[in-house]
Structures are given as C-alpha cells and as structure tokens.
C-alpha cells in the first residue's frame, strides 16, 4: 500500500477518533448540566442498600458516560470517609452497567444525521441566552460529533484495498477459537489500559465491526478485555490514598477480572445466546431493522448482558468481596485520619460530581474545627499537660491548611471550563467557606499557643479568669457547632439566630475583658499574662466572626 493511502487512513482515523472522544465529552457535560441538582442529590443519597447503590452507579455513569470517572469519584469519596466500602462496591457494580449506554447510543442508525444534528445544535449552543437550552444543545452537539467521528473513521476503511489489508492484519485477532478469544481479550485490555478510555476502545471496535474487518465473535472478545482494562484508572486513583480507598479500587479490579475469566469458557454459548436473543428482539420490535445497526446492537447487547449478569452474581457476594479486599489490603497499625481527598484531574470534566466531592471536604473541615475546639476545651480545663491533644490540634491545623489549598486549586481549575451557573456559584461558596474554616483552625491554634506561652513562663491564670475563659470557649464552640449543623442540614434560615448569638458572644467577650482589666488595675496579674490573656479573648471573638461569615454563606448572602 502506498504511503499517501496510509497517510489518508491515519488522518481519518485519528481525526475521527478525536471528534468521537470530544463528542463524548460534550455529551457528558451537557447531560450533567441538564441533570443539575438531581444528579448531585443522587450521589449524596447513596445508601448501604445493595440494589439501590448499584442503580445509582448505573444512572450516574449513564449520565456522565464514563465508568472511569465514576470509579475515580468513588475512590475519592471512600478516601475522604464520605462513602463506605460496601456503598462503593455497589456503585462500582452499577458503573459497569452504566458504561454500556455508549454502545447503545452508537447502535442507533442515525449516523447520516450526525453532521446536521451537530450543525443545528452548534447554533443553539453558541447563540442561545438560556442556560438550559445551551446545555441541552451541548449534549446534542456531542451526539452529533460522536456519529460524525464514527463516520469519519469508517470512511477510512471503505476502499476494498484498505479493507483487505486490515482484514489480513487482524487475522491474528480472531475470536473464533478459545485461544483467539484470550488473545482478543488481552489486546482489548492492553489498548484500554494505554488510552485509559473504554469509550475510545469500544468506538474503534464498533467501526471495525461495522466495516466487516473483524467478526462479531472477535468484537465481543475485545469488549470483554476492555472491561478489565478500564480498572487501571481506579487503581491509579487509589495510589497514595487511605486503606478503604485502595480496597474500593481492588474490589473493582477483582469484580471485572473474575467476571471476565468465568465467562471465557462459556464464551461461544454466550455469543450464540446473544444472537438468538437479538433475533427475538427483532421480531418483537417490527422496525428494529430500520432503527438499529445490527452489528453494533449485538456488541451493545454483549456488553450490557455481560455486566448485568456479573452484577446479579456479585450483588449477593458483596460482603465476601469486601472481606477479601480487607485481607488483601489490611488495616494499618496506626490510626488513619481521613483527609486530603484524591482530587483526580479527570473529575474536572464532571463538575456535577466534583462539586459534591469538594463539598464533603468542606464539611470535613467543619467537623475538624469542632474536634479541635473540643480538644482545646479539655486542655484549658485541665491542670495536667495533655501533650497528645496539643499535638492533635497542631496536626489538624496543618491538615486544614492543605485541604483548603486543595479545594481552592481544584475548584479554580474546574470553573475555567463549561460550568453551569449554579455549579459556579456553589464552587465560589465552597471556596469562601474553606477559607473561613481554615481561619477558624488558625485562631484555635493561636489560643493553644497562648496557653502554652503562659505555661512556659510559669504564669497561672487566676481561678476566675479560667472560669471566664472556659465559658467564652464553650460559647464559641457551641456557636461553631450550630453553624456546622445548619450546613449539614442545608438550613438557610440560620442567619437570624446566628446574628443574635453573635452579639451575645461579643458582649460576653467584652465583659470578660473588662473584668480582666479590673484585675490588672488591682495588680493581681503581670503585664505579660495580661497581654497573652487578652489576645486569647480576642481570638475567640475572631472565631465567632468567621463562623458568622459561614452562616452568611449558608443563608445565601453575597
């Protein structure tokens, strides 16, 4: 074959694949934006009920059009403690079913309409002022690009010379024998691991099958392999994360590998069953021949059937699977503190998912501040040196600094893309809250530093001064908890109560400062003691101010 012919094929395949993948991205972003808050509620409402978790995983992956993104999200949620291992396994089982939606969309016989759909949708996307219309058009734009990309790739294989050459080249991947099935599965796995996109692999597989270059059995064997290859994404996402996050990634690998291996001995019986089922479906739907591309629909049926069967098998065995991964990844001897969610760059393409992940990290910051306030109260009330609690407060303050930086960088990168207005506002809201919680951690640490400074200089707070300091501490700690409860319960009516309580805390602080100055004037305290003690009181006032700022954000104040 001449070089210019090879060059023409390469250009069409590379260009078509690029348009196809970009179309998948636009379709995913558009569907996410249209689903909006409903998608975020689905993610937040994942329960321990196995079937419900599986259904959630199926729906979410069907919308975002990527099982890789769903599994990365699951690893991140487990790492941050938002999702349990059992919940994660249920969602992963569903994600494998949801990812098969891609093949069903491609199976629709609307390839010739890809370009017109792309063109019409582009006008609405570019010129419409209504956000919902724009993102619906964006989803349709993605659909048009998917079909146009496939058509472009298919055009590269149409000439007889090219077809004969590729058919001969693909004879090494012949899924008509068990050895051939293993070769095809291995090749599909390797290709998916390299490109880290099962959508790309299945797109190329479908184009080759539609062109008659590979047979149905070969295509079906390649599909089995890509199911194993897609696990590499979750594995990479689990590196450097918590024990439970690693377990979630390993559960995904075990599920897909075992699910593929057990089917290989029954492969030909399974493909024969699929072809028989497809004949019955054609008889049931009178116009199926006109509405579906037969080869693609069979591949989609293989992919969906395989994952549904595996989900049915593994759902009752989720407990055993969880125990197995617990043995593979044992608990660490030291206690883990769940922090620093793995914010994977792949999540930036799914703002509806990553905004939930970052919100859980903001809530983690709020819970950490509550814990720090509790420990500080114990330290101030005790006559003994509570070194362990003091170390914990310093450690948590460092964690809060890192989490706040992660959230701001992650969300700043996210809002530079195509993001709906409500997600943009939520991102700004979360960045502001992360900043306020980080400041709360700083002031709690400053109070502890003041306490340690008095102790190192052998200065003792008077009994009355200690009572006042503890009362002010408890008032501010309760205030912070009240604001956190409002955030956890989405209570937007918090501001009135927060403002009233804020004024009471301010008056309490001023009164204790006045009483302290009275004691100072009576020469019952040293100047250094007075300076440190006054700073500690002022730090509590600043804590209250930052908590009030959080209440304003919760209430929707600008």
Q: Give pLDDT tens digits for 193-252.
A: 887 777 788 888 888 888 888 888 889 999 888 888 888 877 877 777 778 778 888 888
Does residue 286 or residue 295 have the better pLDDT? 295
Is the pLDDT at 358 greater than 60? The verdict is yes
Q: Indicate the range of 39-43, 86-90, 437-441 predicted with least confidence.
A: 39-43
CA distance 219 to 185: 9
Q: Indicate the range of 22-31, 138-147, 186-195 predicted with least confidence.
A: 22-31
How many Cα neighbours within 13 Å face the side chain of 169?
A: 10
Q: pLDDT value at position 242?
A: 73
Give the mean model confidence (pLDDT) for residues 397-412: 88
Q: pLDDT value at position 505?
A: 92
Residue 344 maps to a domain: no
Q: How is residue 331 annotated by DSSP? A: P
Q: pLDDT value at position 31?
A: 80
Q: How is residue 196 annotated by DSSP? A: T
Does residue 85 or residue 111 have the better pLDDT? 85
CA distance 275 to 105: 19
Q: pLDDT value at position 146?
A: 85
Is the pLDDT at 191 greater than 90? The verdict is no
Q: How is residue 333 annotated by DSSP? A: S
The alpha-helical segments, DSSP class H, found in 415-526 are 421-456, 463-488, 494-521
CA distance 279 to 89: 34
Is the pLDDT at 463 greater than 90? The verdict is no
Binned at pLDDT 50, 70 and 90, residue 89 comes out as confident
Any residues with CB less than 8 A from the CB of 178 and at least 6 apart, and which?
Answer: 264, 265, 267
SS3 513: helix
Any residues with CB less than 8 A from the CB of 140 and at least 6 apart, and which?
Answer: 30, 117, 120, 121, 124
Give the mean model confidence (pLDDT) for residues 288-295: 59
Residue 293 maps to a domain: yes
**Domain match, 430 and 471 both:** yes
**Domain match, 306 and 385 both:** no
Is residue 99 classed exposed, middle or buried when 0-12, 13-18 and 19+ CB atoms within 10 A define those classes? buried
CATH of the domain at 365: 1.20.58.220
Residue 429 maps to a domain: yes
**Domain match, 158 and 70 both:** yes
Structure tokens at 109: 């016989």
Residue 334 maps to a domain: no
Binned at pLDDT 50, 70 and 90, residue 486 comes out as very high
How many Cα neighbours within 13 Å face the side chain of 302?
A: 33
Residue 338 maps to a domain: no
CA distance 337 to 357: 17
Report helix angle 67-79 to 243-261, nearest 10. Answer: 150
Residue 545 maps to a domain: yes
Specify whether the CB–CB gap between 264 and 181 falls below 8 A: yes
Binned at pLDDT 50, 70 and 90, residue 396 comes out as very high
**Domain match, 305 and 382 both:** no
Q: pLDDT value at position 337?
A: 47
**Domain match, 540 and 503 both:** yes
Q: Indicate the range of 40-44, 210-214, 334-338, 441-445 predicted with least confidence.
A: 334-338
Q: pLDDT value at position 525?
A: 64
Q: pLDDT value at position 374?
A: 94
Q: Which domain holds residue 9?
A: 3-328
**Domain match, 284 and 363 both:** no
**Domain match, 79 and 121 both:** yes
Structurally, the chain folds into a number of domains equal to 2
Q: Give pLDDT tens digits for 118-132.
A: 899 999 988 888 888
How many of the other CB atoms lie within 10 Å of CB of 332? 9
Domain's final residue, options 298, 328, 358: 328
Domain's final residue, options 267, 296, 328: 328
Is the pLDDT at 280 greater than 90? The verdict is no
Specify whether the CB–CB gap between 93 and 54 falls below 8 A: yes
Q: Give pLDDT tens digits for 194-208.
A: 877 777 888 888 888
**Domain match, 354 and 279 both:** no
Q: Indicate the range of 357-366, 435-444, 504-513, 520-529 predicted with least confidence.
A: 520-529
**Domain match, 248 and 308 both:** yes
Is the pLDDT at 286 greater than 70? The verdict is no
CA distance 221 to 216: 9
Residue 108 maps to a domain: yes
Q: What is the mean pLDDT of the chain?
A: 83
Does residue 364 or residue 234 have the better pLDDT? 364
Residue 539 maps to a domain: yes
Does residue 254 or residue 44 have the better pLDDT? 254
Is the pLDDT at 456 greater than 80? The verdict is yes
CA distance 417 to 32: 13
Is the pLDDT at 335 greater than 50? The verdict is no
Q: pLDDT value at position 293?
A: 65
Q: How is residue 230 annotated by DSSP? A: T
User: In terms of Cα–Cα distance, which of 332, 232, 218, 227 is closest to 267?
Assistant: 218
Is the pLDDT at 340 greater than 90? The verdict is no
**Domain match, 359 and 245 both:** no
Specify whether the CB–CB gap between 445 and 395 falls below 8 A: no
Structure tokens at 81: 């403690």
- pTM of the prediction? 0.72
**Domain match, 494 and 527 both:** yes
Q: pLDDT value at position 111?
A: 65
> pLDDT over 70 for what percent of the chain?
89
Q: pLDDT value at position 180?
A: 87
**Beta bridge partners of residue 1, listed in sequence order:** none
**Domain match, 312 and 395 both:** no
Q: Give pLDDT tens digits for 495-530.
A: 899 999 999 999 999 998 888 888 777 766 677 778
Domain's final residue, options 272, 297, 328: 328
């Amino acid at each position: 074959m001449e070089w210019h012919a090879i060059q023409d094929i390469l250009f069409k395949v590379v260009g078509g694949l690029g348009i196809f993948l970009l179309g998948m991205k636009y379709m995913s972003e558009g569907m996410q934006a249209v689903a909006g808050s409903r998608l975020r509620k689905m993610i937040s409402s994942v329960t321990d009920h196995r079937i419900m978790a599986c259904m959630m995983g199926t729906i979410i992956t069907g919308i975002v059009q990527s099982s890789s993104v769903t599994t990365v999200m699951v690893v991140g949620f487990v790492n941050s403690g938002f999702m349990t291992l059992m919940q994660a396994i249920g969602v992963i089982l569903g994600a494998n079913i949801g990812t098969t939606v891609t093949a069903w969309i491609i199976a629709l016989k609307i390839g010739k309409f890809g370009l017109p759909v792309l063109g019409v949708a582009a006008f609405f996307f570019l010129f419409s002022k209504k956000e919902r219309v724009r993102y619906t058009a964006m989803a349709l734009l993605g659909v048009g690009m998917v079909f146009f990309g496939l058509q472009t790739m298919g055009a590269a294989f149409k000439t007889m010379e090219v077809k004969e050459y590729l058919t001969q080249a693909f004879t090494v991947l012949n899924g008509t024998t068990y050895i051939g099935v293993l070769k095809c599965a291995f090749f599909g796995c390797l290709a998916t691991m390299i490109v880290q996109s099962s959508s790309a692999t299945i797109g190329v597989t479908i184009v080759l099958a539609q062109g008659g270059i590979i047979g149905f059995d070969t295509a079906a064997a390649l599909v089995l392999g890509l199911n194993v290859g897609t696990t590499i994404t979750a594995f990479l996402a689990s590196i450097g994360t918590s024990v439970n996050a690693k377990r979630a990634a390993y559960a995904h690998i075990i599920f897909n590998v075992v699910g593929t291996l057990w089917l290989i001995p029954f492969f030909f019986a399974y493909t024969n069953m699929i072809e028989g089922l497809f004949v019955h479906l054609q008889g049931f739907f009178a116009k199926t021949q006109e509405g579906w591309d037969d080869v693609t629909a069979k591949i989609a049926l293989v992919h969906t059937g395989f994952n549904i069967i595996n989900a049915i098998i593994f759902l009752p065995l989720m407990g055993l699977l969880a125990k197995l991964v617990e043995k593979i990844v044992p608990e660490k001897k030291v206690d883990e503190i769940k922090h620093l969610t793995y914010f994977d760059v792949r999540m930036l393409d799914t703002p509806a998912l990553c905004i939930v992940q970052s919100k859980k990290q903001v809530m983690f910051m709020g819970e950490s501040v509550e814990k720090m306030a509790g420990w500080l109260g114990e330290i101030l009330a005790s006559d003994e040196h509570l070194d362990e609690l003091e170390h914990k407060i310093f450690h948590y303050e460092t964690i809060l600094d890192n989490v706040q930086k992660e959230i701001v960088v992650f969300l700043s990168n996210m809002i530079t893309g195509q993001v709906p207005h409500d997600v943009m506002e939520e991102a700004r809201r979360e960045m502001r809250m992360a900043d306020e919680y980080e400041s709360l951690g700083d002031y709690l640490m400053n109070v502890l530093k003041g306490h340690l400074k008095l102790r190192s200089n052998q200065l003792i707070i008077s009994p009355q001064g200690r009572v006042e300091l503890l009362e002010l501490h408890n008032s501010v700690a309760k205030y912070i908890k009240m604001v956190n409860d409002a955030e956890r319960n989405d209570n937007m009516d918090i501001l009135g109560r927060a403002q009233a309580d804020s004024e009471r805390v301010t008056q309490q602080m001023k009164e204790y400062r006045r009483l302290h100055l009275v004691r100072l004037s009576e020469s019952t305290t040293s100047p250094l003691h007075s300076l440190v003690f006054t700073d500690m009181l002022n730090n509590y006032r600043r804590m209250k101010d930052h908590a009030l700022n959080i209440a304003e954000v919760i209430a929707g104040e600008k």
